[in-house]
Structure 1
């Protein structure tokens, strides 16, 4: 089966920038996504269209096609209690905060007793990124997955 709208794709990936490998899913549970549901960077999803199990896709994206350029005025002050991911915070650490659009990863810039300055740029903003995606399996989405708008099962969303 080829990747098309409402296909559930199981894959491993490696993500690199110009300095080398940043992260990889190899050695862990493969990931799942449902194609056509805007769950991935648009140009990466477009590159996967029409591919099948056993294919490998390698794609380099400029910052504007990945996580955007770094915005210089993206520092905000928040109460430390709203930072999730650690008990004690230091500058440079990654944290999660809840926003109106869901959880968002931020970088801690400065920490006080009750407040922290955070950089709301995506941690990969401003970087040229290379994705290597190894497609392991492609299957039709179930009617339940289509109704929910995402893949179910190990590596996907669990209910």
Structure 2
């Protein structure tokens, strides 16, 4: 029986992501495994394109920023005094920070994008925020999801992986 990508199946994809000019953004070294069926395990537009596909079929989906990692939000850029940071500080380092309005659990990962004149520039945007992305993938495996995976809304790995994260 030829399995298809349908709700509550676990899909394995070989994929890569480029920007609209063809520059590779993510070469997809490891296959992507996700639970299909509206669990927000993968961008909805990609899930839509994969619906009903069989092993060996490929799709290419162009995602606008709001369908991928969101628009670039200038308010997520903060400038902080250098003295508030550890001595070992490099561009590219990441810090977890709460939102300035003190929301409950919305932690933002800030990347250091610049260090100059006693100031540190932190950017809480995803590195791909504001980017359109072209996502090309091929279905390499389809299996029914377990009841537990469906209940938890995501894939559980093999025995060598930790349980739920």
Query: What range is the shorter-chain TM-score in?
Result: 0.7 to 0.9
Runs of 4+ in structure 1 displaced over 4 angstroms?
77-81
TM (normalized to structure 1)?
0.76
- Considering fraction of residues, name the structure with more strand: 1
Alignment RMSD (CA, Å):
2.7
Distance (Å, rounded) in 2 between the aligned partners of 1:11 and 1:96? 31
Please say if 1:136 is aligned against 2:140. yes
- The aligned counterpart of 1:69 is 71
Deviation of 1:41 after TM superposition, in Å, equals 1.3
Please tell me whether the aligned partners of residues 106 and 123 of structure 1 are also in contact (alpha carbons under 8 angstroms): no
- The aligned counterpart of 1:55 is 57
Distance (Å, rounded) in 2 between the aligned partners of 1:94 and 1:41? 26
**Max Rg structure:** 2
Quickly say closer, same or farther: Cα 1:106–1:19, change in 2 above 3 A: farther
What is the number of equivalent residue pairs in this alignment? Answer: 146
Flag structure 1 segments of 5+ consecutive residues without an equivalent.
Answer: 82-86
Distance (Å, rounded) in 2 between the aligned partners of 1:94 and 1:22? 19
Quickly say closer, same or farther: Cα 1:64–1:147, change in 2 above 3 A: closer
- The aligned counterpart of 1:32 is 33
- The aligned counterpart of 1:2 is 4
TM (normalized to structure 2)?
0.74
